[in-house]
Amino acid sequence: MAVTGKFAVICNQMIMRKPGVFGAPVAGQRVCFNAWKLKDRKGRIEIKAVAHVEVGTKSTTDQGSWNLKGLEGNLGVDLVSEEELRKKGFMGLRKTKLVCTIGPACCSLEELEKLALEGMNVARLNMCHNTREWHLDVIRKIKKLNEKGYCVAVMIDTEGSQIHVVDHGAPSSVKAQDGSIWHFTTEKFEGSRPLTVQASHEGFSEGIEIGDEVVIDGGMATFEVIEKIGNDLRCKCTDSGLLLPRAKLSFWRDEKLVGRNYELPTLSGKDWSDIEFGVSEGVDFIAVSFVKDAKAIRHLKSYLSAKSTKSARVLAKIECVESLHKLEEIVEASDGIMIARGDLGVEIPLEQIPSMQEKIIEVCRQLNKPAIVASQLLESMIQYPTPTRAEVADISEAVRQYADALMLSGESAIGSYGQKALSVLRTTSSRMESWSREENMQANLNQSKSDQIAEQICNCVAEMANNLGLDAIFVFTRHGQMATLLSRNRPNPPIFAFTSDSSTRMALSLQWGVTPLLVDLSGDTEANTEKSINLMKTKELIKEGDTVLVVSDIIPSSATQTLFQSIQVKTVV
């Protein structure tokens, strides 16, 4: 078999190392390299690794053939992926992940299961709303669903230290009429006062002048400051609209955001309390609001690492100008990114949102971190059963840009048509994925050069899978690294990540194109492959004639090296 393309470069680089370190390629169906140390042309030791590449088909008569009989175990594939795979096959499996915000409209066990059946991969809990007891109840219901065979990860989203509405005189949203006069105050009072807004930060009016604009939630309603009374503001509504509970306040002067002299911490005291709660309940993701730099992310990750052996993944929310100035360092420090377009659209011109979204997704792909596109994807479906055509186009564009996940906020949390909204996300993303595949529109990934074998192998695996038209990619992984590297390349076939670590399985719930499966893995790659194929055949998720590419980073039980990768192309017989 001729070895060409990127993989040939790797092979040639290996052969050119110190004589005796590597074996020569074997003619025919197998290409093998084994080494304890890799050296560059100057003799510097770079990586301890073994790469094993095997291309071929094994039948029951081959030496070392698959023996699919007598293998026992449980294939931890979630019910939804299993059903989708059985109905649509490998290429019909949806790759873009779906995140749903849980709220009063969908918090019952029955409603949560409907969302899970519709494709919800991650349940988001917004810590701005509801009580600790309510959040605890939802988390335990999600765990019950997972016990039934679903795979839904749990994310908590911190409130963040921003100025927002504490109370506005009504238990839910209230309409601000054009020309009405409102009082914005930090005074603490019981009950409610009509036409009165209680702000969360005592210094909220600092630096604000008469004539400045007060914008609610990025434009839901707008007021003009007509009088300052001590620390309070008297304002006239100039654009009527809704004031929602916990709505965010921003101040504008001459069409520019008013700079503030005070600095609020990224994580407030309430946020740390919520994080403690999340850790105690074993949540899978913690989304940090209004991240300005990487310092807060690093601090939180260090805290989580010391607090628990199963650390939750930390996601940074990009929703302020400061975060854009330090985007790469924030992405590098975090475990993933949420593009919070609603708040981001308050701080930068609206026309910049599409290009900025694409830039953030591209940076995330370069640095191998999942990106969630959030805010107003299907805003109209909070009230109406059918989305606007512009909303469908917006979703399609996010999928075309290869966002890892799409998120519903109010659509699922308080909307009347949450399940329908999720169905729109699922069907639109699946159709766009199919169209991109058919038109061969996969964007060229401009990667930086790397000498790490694992990364180069995954690049080659994606190219091989596409060029050979394979049905699926199987990756056996302890910590999910090779699965994320494969996901970054956006291959056409679906990626099935077999892991024995439940935390890794949940972490991969956000990764594009990856279906995580929980199985018991050994140090024997061949045994892991046989066992997994057998379990997939038992569930009728794979059939004779399917061709899969098998990748593994499991350390073999017979070796002492710290890293091991292998590639095998197999046809099921």
d(CA 567, CA 553): 10
pTM summary value: 0.76
pLDDT in tens, 116-139: 999 999 999 999 888 899 999 999
- For domain 165-258, the CATH class is mainly beta
pLDDT in tens, 236-246: 999 988 777 66
Query: Which residue would you say has higher pLDDT here, 19 or 58?
Result: 58
Residues carrying CATH 3.20.20.60, the chain = 92-161+264-439
- Say whether pLDDT at 364 is over 50: yes
pLDDT in tens, 186-223: 777 766 677 888 787 777 888 888 999 988 877 788 99
User: Helices (DSSP H) in 469-565: which residue ranges?
Assistant: 481-488, 502-507, 525-538
Amino acid 549: pLDDT: 92
Amino acid 23: pLDDT: 30
- Say whether pLDDT at 263 is over 60: yes
> Domain 452-571: which topology?
Pyruvate Kinase; Chain: A, domain 1 (3.40.1380)
Average pLDDT along the chain: 80
- Say whether pLDDT at 570 is over 70: yes
Residues carrying CATH 2.40.33.10, the chain = 165-258
Nearest to 407 by CA among 315, 271, 310, 272: 315
DSSP 223: E
pLDDT in tens, 155-166: 999 987 666 665
- Say whether pLDDT at 544 is over 80: yes
- Say whether pLDDT at 287 is over 70: yes
Tokens of 212: 């400045």
* pLDDT band with cut points at 50, 70 and 90 for residue 261: very low
Q: Which residues of 256-275 are buried (b: 16+ CB within 10 A; e: fewer)?
A: eeeeeeeeeebbbeebeebb
* pLDDT band with cut points at 50, 70 and 90 for residue 573: confident
Do residues 232 and 210 lie in contact, with contact meaning Cβ atoms separated by under 8 Å? no
d(CA 101, CA 155): 9
- Say whether pLDDT at 3 is over 70: no
pLDDT in tens, 16-48: 333 333 332 322 333 333 323 333 334 433 333
Residues carrying CATH 3.40.1380.20, the chain = 452-571
The CATH homologous superfamily of the domain defined by 92-161+264-439: Phosphoenolpyruvate-binding domains (3.20.20.60)
